[in-house]
Amino acid sequence: MSQVGLLRTIASVCMGASINLQAFDVCAQILPLKNEWRQHNVAVLQGLNKVTGRITSFEVMIGHIVSFGTFRIRVDTCQDLPPILPPESAAFLHIEDQLPDEEICDLFTGWMFASSVSLHAVEHPIYSIWLISCRSNFIDD
């Protein structure tokens, strides 16, 4: 078992049932990581055009707006858990629908989780959007 695999196993035990005193010492070192979400500056999303069946992957820098079909998508934050914990990414998105010759319609504002696509799904007859992951884009000065 790899070191990361071992740490994931220990973390899952720590978050679960009762443990003995030796395990408690190990868990005391692991548990503080439980709520330490890591901030990233890029959200990796996928969009589905339900008419054509085409899936498109794209990236959104935090605070920027990108277009997908008639959608305008802005990501306010994108975070993930440390690698020793079960994988999870979460992003707070604003999605607007801009049809030609019509006003902008607020379609979705809220959290999306990579592991639970249907938890906060975008309801739309033509497009679906979901979060894949978060990553950091480091730019050299």
**Domain coverage including residue 27:** 3-35
Together in a domain, 24 and 44: no
Confirm whether 127 is domain-assigned: yes
Contact 43, 62 (CB under 8 A): yes
State whether 67 and 93 are in the same domain.
yes
* pLDDT value for 136: 93
User: Are 84 and 117 part of one and the same domain?
Assistant: yes
Output the pLDDT for position 141.
44
| Number of domains the chain contains | 2
Considering the domain architecture, whether residues 47 and 29 belong to the same structural domain is answered as no
Does a structural domain hold residue 113? yes
106, 78: one domain: yes
**What is the per-residue pLDDT for 138?**
64
113 and 50 part of one domain: yes
Q: What share of the chain is helix, strand, coil (3-state, %, to 5)?
A: 20, 45, 40
> Is 0.85 topped by the overall pTM?
no
Residues 43 and 78 occupy one common structural domain: yes
Q: What residues in the chain have per-residue pLDDT under 70? A: 1-35, 138-141
- Statement to judge: residues 122 and 69 lie in one domain: yes
